[in-house]
Amino acid sequence: MIKSIGAAAVLALSLSAQPAAPDAKTVIAAASKAMGADNLSSITYSGAAVDVNFLQTRNIDGPWPTRPITDYTRAIDFTQPSSRATGATNNPGIQGGPGVPGVYNQLITPANSAWAQQLEIYLTPWGFLKGAAANNATVHEQKVDTKTYQVVSWSPPQKAPSGAAYRVNGYIDDQNMVERVETWLEHPTLGDMHIESVFRDYKDFAGVEVPALITQKRAEWPVFEAQISRAIPNPPNIEGLVTPPPPPQGQGKQDGKGAAPTPGATPPPGATPAVQSEKLADGVYRITGSYVSMAVEFKNYVLVLEGGESEARGLAVIDETKRLFPNKPVRYVFNSHPHSDHTAGLAPFVAAGATIITQENNKKYLEAALGAPRTLLGDTLAKSNKKPKIETVAEKRVLKDSTRTVEFYHITKMNHSDGMLIAYLPKEKVLFQADFTLPAPGQPANEFVVALAANLDRLNLWDFDRYIPVHAPNPDVPWTKADLRKAVGKAD
């Protein structure tokens, strides 16, 4: 008995001698001190950078090609919080031609209170620490490969559409440096999209540690990288640095002469115009709106061409299709190509049990994206818990029964997407396409339209009357084969 008591006492002394696990406040304070962030209210840093035209690339599977950003500068005011990043871009030229100069301009203000905007501030090492200090952070130890980190986690006040809390994790190494910050953000195609910023090769600038290399990944592929060569903590002119100049007078005006929206341009949140239908033939309807769809009746089911640019639009198209054909299921939804503004409306079709028809280059991406967890969205697909069913087209596929024929063709040798399909209704003489936008009167055809015309020559596929675009012209007037041929300089 005495021996047992003695052993227990030794054990108690041994346990009491063990160092206590650090709490989150201690870890955050140590990192803030080591990084010189205690008195940091703002910062500006600059160098060279690259970014990615996210989910608008030719090959939708990563890694995605990058675009250079020269004279990259970012200023952050943590007291607002607000941020402005600028630079000069040079988008890749078409078919090996000269690059197209542009301007990089990322602006985040207190008015941009959505987490999708604000997270770009908290994905910096100093922003992460300030967010952690203000939002009841927790900490745990975690080994990644062979390295041990103190992982600090916190949630911002904003909630996801599902009502779930967002989570931000920061990985702090044994030198009290923030090495990596990650979070998850809802995305209509990718579901719970993982976002990660990694920091390398810290350097001291006036007492503040600044990474010489910043890399951000989305969906596990790099989308931004900056090599930082200069930094100024607490610049005296921070207000001017985060405030953009007023736009030039008249900027942004449209002539409205039948020009369609820029391909790939995503409409503002909630922009879902009222759905209307135009009958093109018996059992064939053009469904109007910001992104045009078509409903095509077969004997036992309905095919929808293009799901739309958002869940709301996809649901509206489904509802209109059910109104037109109340006794037939939507068995298929055709996806013209995998860019985000043409896949964001697919989720409700998957939830309804429809099979996606897409080009074979897109299958792996769409299966992974639409099959991923969707806990932050809480959308129809998340609630249905269904996985995507996908059928592919290599170069040509024909969907046919005793009542209808629809043909799908792969459009090749174009920079916009290597997974592009068009749909052709031979009996009705209708060609349905996305992003092959005809020019405004008096303007030349862009390279997309020229590529389509070359493919129609290759396929001998000019026997159509109506030329139906996903991006409707403004004003919404009918386009025909004659309009397309005129745009590419072909005489009938």
Mean per-residue pLDDT of the chain: 90
* pTM for this prediction: 0.88
DSSP per-residue codes, 434-446: SS-PPPPTTSPP-
The percentage of the chain sitting over the pLDDT mark of 70, rounded to a whole number, equals 88
What is residue 120's three-state secondary structure? helix
CB burial string 184-195: b at 16+ within 10 A, e below: bbbbbbbbbbeb
Q: Which residue has the tokens 């001190």?
A: 33
pLDDT at 454: 97
Q: How far apart are CA 189 and CA 379, in angstroms?
A: 11
Place of tokens 């640095």: 241
pLDDT of residue 272 exceeding 70: no
List the structure tokens of 278: 């135009």
Q: What pLDDT digit, counting tens, does each position of 104-159 carry?
A: 999 999 988 899 999 999 999 999 999 999 999 999 999 999 999 999 999 999 99
pLDDT band for position 265 (cuts 50, 70, 90): very low
Q: How far is CA 409 from the centre of its chain?
A: 26
SS3 category, 118 = helix
Greater model confidence, 244 or 334: 334
Residue 377 to residue 160: CA distance in whole angstroms: 7
What integer pLDDT is reported at residue 14 of this predicted model? 47
On the question of pLDDT at 64 being above 70, the answer is yes
- What average pLDDT does the segment 354-378 reach? 97
pLDDT tens figures, 406-453:
999 999 998 899 999 999 999 999 999 999 999 998 899 999 999 999
Task: To the nearest 10°, report the CA torsion of 97, 102, 106, 112.
Answer: -100
Using the predicted structure, report yes or no on whether residue 246 has a pLDDT greater than 70: yes
Measured between alpha carbons, how far is 170 from 154 in angstroms, rounded to an integer? 9
Whether 330 has a pLDDT exceeding 80, the answer reads yes
Taking residues 16-28, report their average pLDDT.
Answer: 76
Residue 2 has a pLDDT of 44
Cis peptide before 63, with omega less than 30 degrees from 0?
yes
**Model confidence band, residue 22 (pLDDT cutoffs 50, 70, 90):** confident
Inform me whether the pLDDT recorded for 258 exceeds 60: no
What percent of the chain is modeled with pLDDT above 90? Answer: 80
CA–CA distance, 472 with 479 (Å, rounded to integer)? 9
Residue 245's pLDDT band, with cuts at 50, 70 and 90, is confident
User: Which of 6-15, 39-48, 258-267, 442-451 has the highest mean predicted lDDT (pLDDT)?
Assistant: 39-48
Report whether pLDDT(276) > 60. Answer: yes
Using CA of residue 349, residue 433, residue 420, residue 54, what is the dihedral sign?
negative
What local confidence, expressed as pLDDT, does residue 131 receive? 98
Neighbours of 346 (CB within 10 A): 27
Domains in the chain, ordered, with CATH? Answer: 22-242 (2.50.20), 277-487 (3.60.15.10)
pLDDT score recorded for residue 101: 80
Q: How would you class 460 by CB atoms within 10 Å of its CB: exposed for 0-12, middle for 13-18, buried for 19 or more?
A: exposed
Distances (CA, A) of 134 to 40, 128, 239: 15, 10, 23
Note whether 345 and 291 are within 8 A (CB): yes
Find the mean pLDDT for residues 250-275: 45
**Mean of pLDDT values over 15-24:** 64
